[in-house]
Homo-oligomer: A and B are copies of this chain.
């Protein structure tokens, strides 16, 4: 279980990565953000890698929750729609999360971290492929292109759109504009 301070550290780390990239995530910056001294950090996490592991784990949980909710929807198209909506809402309300969805480049130096990140990506694509395959069987989703191609398109679209939102400095309303993009995606993959 995580203590209140541990959660605080993970959230501060997330927001530091979001603001300044991985290079800005130093123990010094982290402690300054929280308002304690550097060594105090080590009372709560053994070392820096453990903090990053906790960051990735919290994102992994977040993804798990989204999927669980998505699966309650009936119909593949509704599920994909719900997944996009949940993503956009979460990123809109907590922009720091965006950093993690593009974290493959950030955590490359530590094998334990890079393994975790590529695992998250693969799990997402796998999940989407399954949803699409079922939708194809039920006649909702087109079958003239392979399910894994559609999954890469859907996931790639989501990622680039969120990335662009980040690059514009949250310059447009991700939730509102995102809804329009969802409709376009649905049109393209529907039968």
Which of A's residues lie within 8 Å of B, judged by CB?
A: 20-24, 102-106, 108-109, 118, 121-122, 125, 144-146, 149-150, 152-153, 155-161, 163-164, 167, 180-181, 183-185, 187-189
Nearest-CB residue, chain B, relative to A146: B184
A122 to B144 alpha-carbon distance, docked (Å): 31
The answer, among B22, B105, B118, B144, for a CB contact under 8 Å with A102, is B105
Residue with the highest number of chain B CB atoms closer than 10 Å, among A103, A104, A145, A152 = A152
CB contacts (< 8 Å) of A125 on chain B: these are 164
The reply to whether B152 and A164 form a contact with Cβ atoms under 8 Å apart is: yes
Closest 4 CB pairs of A and B: A156-B160, A156-B156, A21-B108, A145-B184
Seed contacts A20-B108, A149-B184; 12 additional CB < 8 Å A-B pairs: A21-B108, A22-B22, A23-B108, A102-B105, A121-B164, A145-B183, A149-B180, A155-B160, A156-B157, A156-B158, A156-B160, A159-B159
The reply to whether B23 and A188 form a contact with Cβ atoms under 8 Å apart is: no
CB contacts (< 8 Å) of A122 on chain B: these are 167
A106 to B24 alpha-carbon distance, docked (Å): 11
The reply to whether B153 and A157 form a contact with Cβ atoms under 8 Å apart is: yes
Knowing A145-B188, A184-B145, say if A156 contacts B167 (CB, 8 Å): no
A-B contact pairs, 7 of them (CB 8 A): A21-B106, A22-B22, A22-B105, A145-B183, A145-B188, A153-B185, A156-B157
CB contacts (< 8 Å) of A163 on chain B: these are 104, 121
The reply to whether A23 and B159 form a contact with Cβ atoms under 8 Å apart is: no
CB contacts (< 8 Å) of A181 on chain B: these are 149, 152
A161 to B105 alpha-carbon distance, docked (Å): 15
The answer, among B105, B145, B183, for a CB contact under 8 Å with A187, is B145
The reply to whether B164 and A160 form a contact with Cβ atoms under 8 Å apart is: no
